């Protein structure tokens, strides 16, 4: 794959991964609209690993608190806020791991239909607006309960449909539960860590077994570029959500969804 293609795809992934607009949809659509060869799941996962580094760098305090909390628990010093948060992140990830494993057995390449992406982009964009507009903001991430985390974790399974957006559906559920917008985004990003670690490890082993130096080089380039672009996108999104709503993301989703459906049904 040409370096220019890798650069574009890595930037697309970095910018869209944590915004509620579906990075997987953009990664599928980019090569189609530019008439490039589909990059496949190897590069997809590589750029996800880059964004993993970005979220861990941005939320380093939360990540450190979780590790310290788990270590204290192992030493028998009780369960503190960090250990509780780590437990919630793991619990919220379990449903999508089970669903993702099952889907990978049935559809190894996932769903890559423009029609499906269009409807999911449109429908879940409307749902995000409804929840953001009419939910009462009463809670922070520290107020999460076990039942809340289970519900967010189950909703994350819907992100296996490209166009839904993993971050989008978890933020939508968070708003439904009355969480602050920035806290919805914060917990959504923390939830991404175990899933990306799992996918990156599996595909990394696959790359290592192939011994393909070109594929390894491609993956590493994608990791680096997506890391930088994701870190910038996260900082800008969090700054925005501390003072404004999800409306700009909803408008973008509605426009993109309409265009995709027009293309899918032959109107464009």
pLDDT tens digit sequence for 141-188: 999 999 999 999 999 999 989 899 999 999 999 999 999 999 999 999
The pLDDT of residue 152: 97
Cβ atoms 101, 158 nearer than 8 A: no
Closest CA to 234 of 102, 58, 106: 58
pTM, 2 dp: 0.89
Domain boundaries, the chain: 3-264
The pLDDT of residue 100: 83
- pLDDT tens sequence across 85-116: 999 999 999 998 898 888 877 876 667 788 99
Mean predicted confidence (pLDDT) in 120-129: 96
- pLDDT tens sequence across 207-216: 666 665 556 6
Burial 43-54 (b: 16+ CB within 10 A, else e): bbbbbbbbbbbb
The answer, yes or no, to whether residue 5 has pLDDT greater than 80, is no
pLDDT more than 70, % of the chain: 90
């Amino acid at each position: 794959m040409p370096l220019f293609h890798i650069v574009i795809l890595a930037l697309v992934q970095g910018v869209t991964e944590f915004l509620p607009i579906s990075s997987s949809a953009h990664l599928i659509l980019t090569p189609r609209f530019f008439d490039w060869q589909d990059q496949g799941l190897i590069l997809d996962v590589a750029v996800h690993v880059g964004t993993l580094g970005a979220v861990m760098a941005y939320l380093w305090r939360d990540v450190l608190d979780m590790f310290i909390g788990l270590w204290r628990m192992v030493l028998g010093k009780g369960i503190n806020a960090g250990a509780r948060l780590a437990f919630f992140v793991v619990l919220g990830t379990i449903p999508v791991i089970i669903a993702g494993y099952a889907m990978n057995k049935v559809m190894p390449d996932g769903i890559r239909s423009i029609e499906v992406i269009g409807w999911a982009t449109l429908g879940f964009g409307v749902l995000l607006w409804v929840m953001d507009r009419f939910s009462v903001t009463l809670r922070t991430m520290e107020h999460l309960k076990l039942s809340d985390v289970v519900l967010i974790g189950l909703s994350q399974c819907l992100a296996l449909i490209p166009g839904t957006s993993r971050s989008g559906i978890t933020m939508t559920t968070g708003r439904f539960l009355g969480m602050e917008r920035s806290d919805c985004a914060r917990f959504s990003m923390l939830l991404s860590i175990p899933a990306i670690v799992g996918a990156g490890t599996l595909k990394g082993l696959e790359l290592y077994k192939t011994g393909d130096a070109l594929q390894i080089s491609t993956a590493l380039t994608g990791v680096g570029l997506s890391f930088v672009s994701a870190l910038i996108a996260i900082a800008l999104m969090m700054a925005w959500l501390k003072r404004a709503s999800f409306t700009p993301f909803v408008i973008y989703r509605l426009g993109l969804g309409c265009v995709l459906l027009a293309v899918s049904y032959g109107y464009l």
